Amino acid sequence: MSEERELEQAPSTEVAAPAPKKVKKIIRKKRPARPQVDSSFITSEPPPQTGTIFNIWYNKWSGGDREDKYLSKTAAKGRCNVARDSGYTRADKITGSYFCLFFARGICPKGQDCEYLHRLPGIHDLFNPNVDCFGRDKHSDYRDDMGGVGSFMRQNRTIYVGRIHVTDDIEEIVSRHFAEWGQVERIRVLNSRGVAFITYTNEANAQFAKEAMAHQSLDHSEILNVRWATSDPNPMAQAREARRIEEQAAEAIRRALPEAFVAEIEGRDPEARKRRKIESSFGLEGYEAPDDVYFARGAQAVNPMGRRGYELGHEERLMIENGETGGGGDAPLAIEAGQQSAGVKGGIFSSSTLAALKAAQVSTAPRAKATASSGPLVAYSSDSEDDE
Ligand SMILES: [Zn+2]
């Protein structure tokens, strides 16, 4: 960003007249992905027989369930180094690309020619709940040993890590190693048992971490056993998870609706009612514009406030606000809200938001909804919505 500004202010700028407003592009430092291993690495030796059928396409054995038993005794062959290895690949040009499983394991020889993403998942990487971030199908149930891809019945952000070498500084070691794979929300270490539970903020990062750390060692020569954590039976933990889903949904709503509207329904702006009464009369005594008019946003908005920021084309503005949304149309929020808080009345609204809405007697204005449909709430309003 600062580089961009420097360029704009550089003395070489030809004319003094203000240039027409340009759409700001998000400039990222682009660097090609680095091949993690020599290309002979993958092809030189067929993988040891760990199943009953050899799949040429994936260069691995399937069938049987011996994979983990075998691998659990063998250290991983590589290790991803996010800072050093990540960069763009062919996949970055294609919306909805999946992450490279071999990259996560530190053994992708393809570098920038890879058809999969070579970087860490972020909050904008959203995938269909039926697949993981590597594009592998999830199953209806977990495997008995909680290994594998996992289940689509539950959003699991917590991985179990066993066989950690027990030392006094085990907590520090665990958090240092696992922070590399994304934002960590919580780490619980059972010190004496050499076991840890790591919860990531985003599910995709948990998926990535599980692959990246399988059969790795930490500061000692242990070989880790990494699995999905079973759901925490502790009611406190379950309440926390439910609250998080509510908060996430409320946050999505906040982002989708005009700020003034949210402030008013949440009662954060006590002056709002008064101000609105004056402003929304549009000079007509006794008139007060209904919500959908008052809070309307866009070039066509009646309220001058609503037109602010719409000097740019609507589409362009969206691009700026949303940045690069890598994912497809399915926001995991919708899924979560649907399956996890099915019992919560109102689904996507947190109870406090609902209460606020009721108190303010705000009918959900069709106009406000129309503007909202461009935001992260897309998945709620329509399932025919395309990517983009
Ligand atoms: Zn790759």
Question: Which residue did the predictor score with more confidence, 145 or 301?
Answer: 145
The reported pLDDT for the residue numbered 281 is 75
CA 103 / ligand 1 centre spacing (Å): 5
Q: What is the pLDDT of residues 355-374, one digit of tens each?
A: 655 555 444 444 443 443 34
| Most confident listed range (39-48, 139-148, 316-325) | 139-148
Portion of the chain with pLDDT greater than 70, in percent: 62
What is 139-231's CATH topology? Alpha-Beta Plaits (3.30.70)
Question: Which residue did the predictor score with more confidence, 285 or 330?
Answer: 285
Local confidence band at 28 (pLDDT 50, 70, 90 cut-offs): low
The reported pLDDT for the residue numbered 373 is 39
CA 47 / ligand 1 centre spacing (Å): 18
| Most confident listed range (10-14, 200-204, 302-306) | 200-204
Residues 6+ apart with CB under 8 A from 384: none
User: Per-residue pLDDT for 72 more than 60?
Assistant: no
CA 119 / ligand 1 centre spacing (Å): 10
CA 40 / ligand 1 centre spacing (Å): 14
- What is the rounded distance in angstroms from the CA atom of residue 348 to the CA atom of residue 24? 33
CA 286 / ligand 1 centre spacing (Å): 65
- What is the rounded distance in angstroms from the CA atom of residue 388 to the CA atom of residue 386? 6
Cβ pair 326, 99 in contact under 8 A? no
- Name which of 144-148, 244-248, 309-313, 337-341 the model is least confident about: 337-341
Residues 6+ apart with CB under 8 A from 113: 89, 90
The shares of helix, strand and coil residues in the chain, as percent rounded to the nearest 5, are 35, 10, 55
The reported pLDDT for the residue numbered 131 is 93
CA 214 / ligand 1 centre spacing (Å): 17
The reported pLDDT for the residue numbered 315 is 52
DSSP state of 19: P
**CATH 3.30.70.330: which residues of the chain?**
139-231
Q: What is the pLDDT of residues 104-151, one digit of tens each?
A: 999 999 999 999 999 999 888 888 889 999 999 999 889 888 999 988
Nearest to 317 by CA among 291, 329, 299: 299
3-state secondary structure of 10: coil
Q: What is the pLDDT of residues 201-253, one digit of tens each?
A: 999 999 999 999 999 999 999 999 999 998 777 788 788 878 877 777 777 77
CA 98 / ligand 1 centre spacing (Å): 10
- What is the rounded distance in angstroms from the CA atom of residue 17 to the CA atom of residue 24? 19
Residues 6+ apart with CB under 8 A from 89: 32, 33, 100, 110, 111, 112, 113, 114, 115, 116, 117, 118
- What's the pTM? 0.54
The residue-averaged pLDDT of 96-100 equals 94
